[in-house]
């Protein structure tokens, strides 16, 4: 049986609360399947600033380097948002981790569980039979990382920059994902205004020639934001640069019912000694300071991120799919956390939702 090393970084706010539920689920799975997980926790983000005076301690980096996968909660909060940028949880820990391990391909599946149609702010006729969109977001380039960037007395600036190689590899990720799905890629850009995005569109179009059975379309980001609420069912894979993918993924999450439902996988090209594809797996949402400490956060995004770790990272597809089925079952039974609650359902807290999903495995 294989043993995988997992670096567990719960982080701040609701991070530790939802991570506890994901670990419970993983614990149970090891009694069902023939693999084991050696988990080790480390500090990251605001809690690491408080304890070690840095959001990303060397010991945390070392743990990640030895691991087959990083299971990440979320970082940040009001307490740390006035520190200098590079000392903040987001810019001092999460972004450097993504960059350091070259995790350029961020997969964010927005799936409507039909049982949750009532929780979506969209009308039932728009949700239809449900939808299943995969956002493929470039994660280590674009305006997040382009140089120069800075803040001076009377101006602030960032640089949006993409190289051919960066666009090509994320385009390959999107086309390969589409091959296993409904064979459609919609590339999102702002080629009517931004030169970076003219180059993005040209480069994606060029790579598409290697995937003749995939239907490629292009859409401006403002239109895409609108189309997502008008008719989300038209999309299969949405290919986005770093910032547009960030924005559209929160939107896509919400139309599935809640940001607390959206998991993600951030992958690079590195394979570990164990045959795993190294990656960082985290919910798309943040530390949710408004509900932290109340025991009401939805743990499903974190639990499904653990499922994505099994499927995309460790190659334990059956075990990962079993988590998706368990979540589906618990939702069918009518259990809901506050964020996805609607009339006639049974309201449960974070811990209880974690227990129900664990039992349903």
d(CA 103, CA 146): 16
Here's the x/- map for ligand NAD, 330-349, by CB under 6 A: it reads as ---------x----------
Q: How many CB atoms lie within 10 A of CB 353?
A: 27
Active site residue 58: no
301 binds, among ligand IPM, Mn ion, ligand NAD, none (CB under 5 to 8 A by kind): ligand NAD
Question: Hey, which residues does 188 pair with through a beta bridge?
Answer: 219
Element (H, E) at 167: helix 164-179
Torsion sign (Cα): 113, 267, 217, 245 = positive
Among positive and negative, which fits the CA dihedral 197, 163, 144, 46? positive
Residue 218 Cβ vs Mn ion, minimum distance, rounded to whole Å: 23
Asked if 92 is part of the footprint of ligand NAD (rule: CB under 6 A), the reply reads: no
**Position among 43, 138, 189, 282 found at the interface with ligand NAD (CB under 6 A):** 282
Distance in angstroms (rounded) separating the CA atoms of residues 299 and 306? 11
Residue 246 makes contact with ligand IPM by CB under 6 A: yes
**C-alpha closest to that of 253 among 335, 339, 334:** 339
Least CB distance to ligand NAD at residue 52 (A): 18
Q: Is residue 246 within the footprint of Mn ion (CB under 5 A)? A: yes
290 binds ligand NAD (CB under 6 A): yes
The token duo for 52 is: 């070690």
Say which of 102, 132, 158, 250 is annotated catalytic: 250
**Which residues does the annotation place in the binding site?**
77-90, 98, 108, 137, 222, 246, 250, 286-298
Instruction: Figure out which of the listed residues 6, 177, 252, 288 binds ligand NAD, where binding follows CB under 6 A.
Output: 288
Interaction between residue 74 and ligand NAD (CB under 6 A)? yes
Q: Is 174 in the site for ligand NAD (CB under 6 A)?
A: no
Count of Cβ atoms closer than 10 Å to residue 227 Cβ:
15
Concerning whether 250 is annotated as a catalytic residue, the answer is yes
Residue from 189, 246, 312, 335 carrying the catalytic annotation: 246
Angle at which helix 350-360 crosses helix 15-32, to 10 degrees, equals 10
Instruction: Report how far residue 136's alpha carbon sits from residue 104's, in angstroms, rounded to the nearest whole number.
Output: 10
Residues carrying an active site annotation: 144, 190, 222, 246, 250
Using CB under 6 A, list all residues that contact ligand IPM. 76, 90, 94-95, 246, 284, 286
């Amino acid at each position: 049986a294989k043993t995988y090393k997992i670096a567990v970084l719960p982080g701040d706010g609701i991070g530790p609360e939802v991570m506890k539920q994901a670990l419970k689920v993983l614990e149970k799975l090891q009694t069902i399947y023939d693999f084991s997980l050696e988990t080790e926790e480390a500090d990251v983000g605001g809690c690491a600033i408080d304890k070690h005076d840095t959001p990303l301690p060397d010991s945390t980096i070392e743990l990640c380097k030895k691991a087959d996968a990083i299971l990440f909660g979320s970082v940040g909060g009001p307490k740390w948002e006035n520190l200098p940028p590079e000392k903040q949880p987001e810019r001092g820990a999460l972004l450097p981790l993504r960059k350091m391990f070259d995790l350029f391909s961020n997969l964010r599946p927005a799936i409507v569980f039909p049982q949750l149609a009532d929780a979506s702010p969209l009308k039932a006729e728009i949700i239809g039979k449900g939808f299943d969109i995969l956002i493929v977001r470039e994660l280590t380039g674009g305006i997040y990382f382009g140089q120069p960037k800075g803040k001076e007395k009377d101006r602030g600036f960032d640089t949006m920059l993409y190289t051919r190689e960066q666009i090509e590899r994320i385009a390959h990720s999107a086309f390969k994902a589409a091959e296993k799905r409904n064979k459609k890629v919609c590339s999102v850009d702002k080629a009517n205004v931004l030169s970076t995005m003219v180059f993005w569109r040209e480069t994606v179009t060029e790579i598409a020639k290697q995937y003749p059975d995939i239907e490629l379309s292009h859409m401006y980001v403002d239109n895409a934001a609108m189309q997502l609420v008008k008719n989300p069912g038209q999309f299969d894979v949405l290919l986005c640069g770093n910032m547009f993918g960030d924005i559209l993924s929160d939107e896509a999450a919400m139309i599935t019912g809640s940001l607390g439902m959206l998991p993600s996988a951030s992958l690079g090209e590195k394979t570990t000694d164990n045959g795993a594809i190294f990656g960082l797996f985290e919910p798309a949402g943040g530390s949710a300071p408004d509900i932290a400490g109340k025991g009401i956060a939805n743990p499903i995004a974190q639990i499904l991120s653990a499922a994505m770790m099994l499927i995309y990272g460790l190659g334990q597809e059956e075990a990962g799919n079993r988590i998706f089925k368990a979540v589906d079952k618990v939702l069918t039974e009518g259990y809901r956390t506050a964020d996805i609650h609607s009339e006639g359902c049974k309201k449960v807290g974070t811990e209880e939702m974690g227990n129900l999903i664990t039992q349903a495995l």
